[in-house]
Amino acid sequence: MSVDNAYAVELKGVTFKRGSRSIFNNVDIRIPRGKVTGIMGPSGCGKTTLLRLIGAQLRPASGEVWVAGQNLPTLSRSDLFDARKQMGVLFQSGALFTDLDVFENVAFPLRVHTQLSDEMIRDIVLMKLQAVGLRGAFELMPDELSGGMKRRVALARAIALDPQILMYDEPFVGQDPIAMGVLVRLIRLLNDALGITSIVVSHDLAETASIADYLYVVGDGQVLGQGTPQELMNSDNPRIRQFMKGDPDGPVPFHFPAPDYRADLLGKR
Amino acid sequence: MRRKSLLERIRLFGRAAIDVLAVLGRSWLFLLHALIGRGGIGGSFQLLVKQLYSVGVLSLAIIVVSGIFIGMVLSLQGFNILSSYGSEQAVGQMIALTLLRELGPVVTALLFAGRAGSALTAEIGNMKSTEQLSSLEMIGVDPLKYIVAPRLWAGFISLPLLAMIFSVVGIWGGSWVAVDWLGVYEGSFWSNMQNSVSFTDDVLNGVIKSVVFAFVVTWIAVFQGYDCEPTSEGISRATTKTVVYASLAVLGLDFILTALMFGDF
């Protein structure tokens, strides 16, 4: 089966379960090539799971995950590792290698996947670090960096091999306003400068909507809505409106399901 | 608390049995993927050397100190018992056979499980909880080849060497107590040992035991780290499991191996 060239990633009829609980149920998602696509939804709705499905770190119970013309769940273990060279992921924690300094963290993908000389690797690493504004920090160890700096180093490492697809897992969580502003600008800048496809998984509405060309809102194991940020803001779907406006109560209730409050308070203990 | 029905108990027992089988299956697949196939040990000699240092060289101190003291204690106890029969000259033979056949491989494996095994589990578990393993996967590097395989090989190589060192320093410690302190004649001490220790029956069997223990202890340690729940509690539980499972496996296997090697059925 072929895929549409306009899309860098296509999920077709994907169902994923943890035990008997269904996380995604027959989901179809298409990520346009060369654009920033946001995947949004409330905490715990499976956004990170979706990234792991795209990266084939998880296998769906059924359905197809097409990335760069390959249906990843059907690939062998070694082919899968080859296919991942075209992807970069910025993990929520940064996931820097704690025994390597900043320079070696960024150089790592180049050392394991290329035969470049040390001089060439040095130049590339410094260019990547310059792109994220941390060239001066190349000698520091990960435990000497702030949370925002760690993510920027991880971003430099993620783009070291010039991937076609860059995925961001909750990039804005726990960042101060300055670090958040830097990351927002970098995601857009890298996407446009490198001509890559960016997938941003986040529940930070304002930041994601400000840089995304296209948004998906997921919840209850399904795609609740999709469109440009403006289209979703004006959506008639009450669940999407609740999420986009940040209303505490609505179709997604404020209270976790519980017995009657009065009966619970006055009832037998 | 509600009493469980018989059917419920059978169901829980069946579930536990399935879980054990699933873990066994995962651990075998884990081992095969780590040791066999593309990108094995050949491409990561530097990683192996680094792990040999952290797993083997850094365990030397505890192995040497324990070996010396155990040899010295054996010497004291042996002299005490053998002198009542007027056979204190045989203390060298007793120390050598005890260390080479049993205490060398077994105590080294137990110490190795506590020092290096727990460190391996905690290190890999921590890499999992900080998403370093996931990060490697997404960079296109197989963590089983890059992280697990060098540690497995380092354990396989280190433990037998450490067991040999343990036996050697134990015999040296024993000779110091027996010859230099308790006054056993040096010639008898060493010649009795030389006459009674067989290379194939004693030295080689001891080495075989330590190779088997190395395989089991290192496998348990790295698998527990890789398979643990990626939380602080999960890592702590996995580290405990490594020490407990590895120690029990060593003692159980020691009985089986001793029966096979030295049993006269």
pLDDT over threshold 90, residue B223: yes
**pLDDT tens digits, A38-66:** 998 877 788 888 889 998 888 898 999 99
**B27 touching chain A per CB within 8 A:** no
Nearest Cα residue in chain B from A54: B138
Q: Hey, what amino acid is at A228? A: T
**Whole-number pLDDT of residue B98:** 94
Structure tokens at A88: 């970069």
pTM: predicted TM-score of the whole model, two decimal places: 0.82
Task: Provide the chain A residues 118-177 that lie in CB contact (below 8 A) with chain B.
Answer: 154, 157, 161
Beta strands per DSSP E along A7-153: 7-18, 21-32, 36-40, 62-67, 70-71, 87-90
Give the pLDDT of residue A268.
Answer: 61
- Which distant-in-sequence residues (6+ apart) come within 8 Å of A175 by Cβ? A147, A148, A151, A183
**Mind listing the domains of chain A with CATH numbers?**
7-86+163-266 (3.40.50.300)
CA nearest neighbour of B115 among B148, B162, B172? B162
List of residues 6+ apart from A227 with CB closer than 8 A = A214, A215, A235
Question: A178: helix, coil or strand?
Answer: helix
- Residues of chain B contacting A82 with CB distance shorter than 8 Å: 140
Q: Which of A77, A95, A97 sits opposite B134 (nearest CB)?
A: A95
Handedness of CA A103, A100, A77, A92 (dihedral sign): negative
The H-or-E segment that residue A208 falls in is helix A205-211
Question: What residue in B sits closest to A161 (Cα-Cα)?
Answer: B139
- Pick left, alpha or beta for residue B79 (phi over 0 → left; psi -120 to 50 → alpha; otherwise beta): alpha
> What pLDDT, on the 0 to 100 scale, is given for residue B2?
64
Separation CA A144–CA B178 (nearest Å): 54
Residues whose CB falls within 8 Å of the CB of residue A188, separated by 6 or more in sequence, listed in order: A36, A211
Evaluated on CA atoms B12, B15, B17, B20, the torsion sign reads negative
Specify the pairing of strand A62-67 against strand A87-90.
unpaired
Kindly give, in sequence order, each residue whose CB lies less than 8 Å from that of residue A87, ignoring residues fewer than 6 positions away. Answer: A54, A55, A67, A163, A164, A165, A166, A167, B138
pLDDT digits (tens, 9 = 90+) for A1-36: 445 678 889 999 999 988 778 888 888 999 999 899
> What value does the mean pLDDT take over residues B23-46?
78
- Find the mean pLDDT for residues B155-176: 95
ipTM above 0.90, yes or no: no
- Token representation of residue A122: 């040095």
Percent of chain A with pLDDT over 90: 22
Nearest Cα of chain A lies from the Cα of B33 at a distance, in angstroms, of 10
- By C-alpha distance, the chain A residue nearest B129 is A95
